[in-house]
Structure 1
């Protein structure tokens, strides 16, 4: 509703107009601004620096540094290739537990559990009784030997297909984690020096995590690939 002045009587009277093109354009603009503000509220892409080395003397493992230079994750292994790997936060609290399950087939299977490691001395809670977050299988494609699929991540029933597929080459530190819609949710890249003329090699690399994908789970995928291909 707008106010218009009548020339005949010199007074202001209300005039009702139907939706015009200009008003439609205004509503469209407001919708676009709302979408813009929604996008600004989304978390940004996270870039983590992964160092394939433990901070503890005599241990193998990983040290993960955040964008601000702070310690985010750590892995400390006292034996070379353990059957269990614990991903910890900066304070040493267990976040994820990875177990390798040996099979009498070409492909071994890895299971990822959440929280603290199980207490093997507690008879009421056997280690394998806890339901895993996901199952991960290394890809051994005999039919298509040149396939670039490294592994498949299953959540729930395996009959529904993988929730995520990992493609590329971990040995070259060039991998992508794709969801069911083929969208990238995480990526492993070689870390380049600031001047772009040098590389840190294979022991230090970048882990890029897209919004809405858990960075701890992305790091668990790195640990799985390291178990599979190194």
Structure 2
């Protein structure tokens, strides 16, 4: 397989983000003990390429490449879309996150667990639609809770203004955490809508952001 190199974007971030989280042992700025080596703490922006295709022939999912063109994350749903249980894996197929769909009548949310979900394990993050604004196709705000703190969302995922595939993850003060947009070649050519660039701000765990992006795309039936 040929390597895919993300197009180098703007200038590095000036100051690391500092979010108010209740537990340092599960800080989203820190690496999960089960994450791949790329998920270690970083002081610079990280840039990934998301290909909205599975490496499995005929499968559904996505494949994520790092800045060196190496596969770093995978989601393989084989021949089905919108599964109720989805795994974020590393390049070797080891499970990093388990994402489960919870249904409550007309409402639904996605709960993310570290590693393979064990009996009695607590969810790490929870993604659901916000019902405070009109719900139009591909025009909804998604709220994210961490560590069972349901009083105040830690993050919001906001759809981009110009494209269906673009979105931003912001903290509760509106500060940028990560951004997804259509990938451009070095020459400035915009690639297909299934090839995206993900930019993650410093000191954020990439596996958490990937888990949120997988849940966001599951909400919109893209995986």
Q: Answer yes or no: is the 8 Å Cα contact 1:149–1:165 preserved in 2.
A: no
Question: Partners of 1:53 and 1:149 in 2: how far apart?
Answer: 24
Counterpart in 1 of 2:124?
133
How far did residue 199 of structure 1 move?
Answer: 1.7
Contact 1:102 1:109 in 2 (8 A): yes
Change (3 A) 1:180 1:59: same
What is the CA distance between 1:156 and its match in structure 2?
3.3
Could you say which residue in structure 2 is the equivalent of 1:175? 167
- The one-character-per-residue Cα deviations of 1:32-55 (angstroms, maximum 9, x if unpaired) are xxxx9x9xx962101100001111
Alpha-carbon offset, residue 218 of structure 1: 1.1
Q: How does 1:39-58 map to 2 (within 5 A)?
A: 43-58=43-58
Partner of 2:70: 70
Q: Map Cα deviations across residues 59-112 of structure 1 (whole Å, 9 max, x no partner).
A: 21111000011111011112222111100011111000100001113x311100
Q: Is the 8 A contact 1:150 1:168 kept in 2?
A: yes
Q: Which has the higher helix share?
A: 1
Aligned to 2:185: 193
**How many residues were matched structurally?**
180
- Once residues 226 and 218 of structure 1 are traced to their aligned partners in structure 2, the CA distance between those partners, rounded to angstroms, is 12
Alpha-carbon deviation of 1:58?
2.7
TM-score, structure 2 length as denominator? 0.73
1:210 & 1:158 partners in 2: Cα distance?
A: 23
3-state SS of 1:108 partner: strand
Deviation at 1:174, TM superposition (A): 1.9
Give the 3-state SS of the residue equivalent to 2:141 in structure 1. Answer: strand
Closer, same or farther: CA 42–73 of 1 in aligned 2, 3 Å: closer
Gaps in structure 2 of 5+ consecutive residues: 1-13, 17-40
Shift of 1:181: 2.5
Q: In the alignment, does 2:200 pair up with 1:202?
A: no
How much does 1:173 deviate? 2.2
Tell whether the 8 Å contact from 1:94 to 1:117 is kept in structure 2 after alignment.
Answer: no
SS of the residue aligned with 1:223? helix
What is the alpha-carbon distance in structure 2 between the residues aligned to residue 160 and residue 139 of structure 1?
Answer: 13
What secondary structure sits across from 1:219 in the alignment?
Answer: helix
RMSD of Structure 2 on Structure 1 (CA)? 2.5
* Larger Rg over CA atoms: 1
Equivalent position of 1:61 in the other structure:
61
**Are the structure 2 counterparts of residues 182 and 149 from structure 1 closer, same or farther at C-alpha, using a change threshold of 3 Å?**
farther
- In structure 2, C-alpha distance between the alignment counterparts of 1:226 and 1:104, rounded to whole Å: 21
Contact 1:48 1:206 in 2 (8 A): yes
Q: Distance in 2 between matches of 1:49 and 1:150?
A: 23
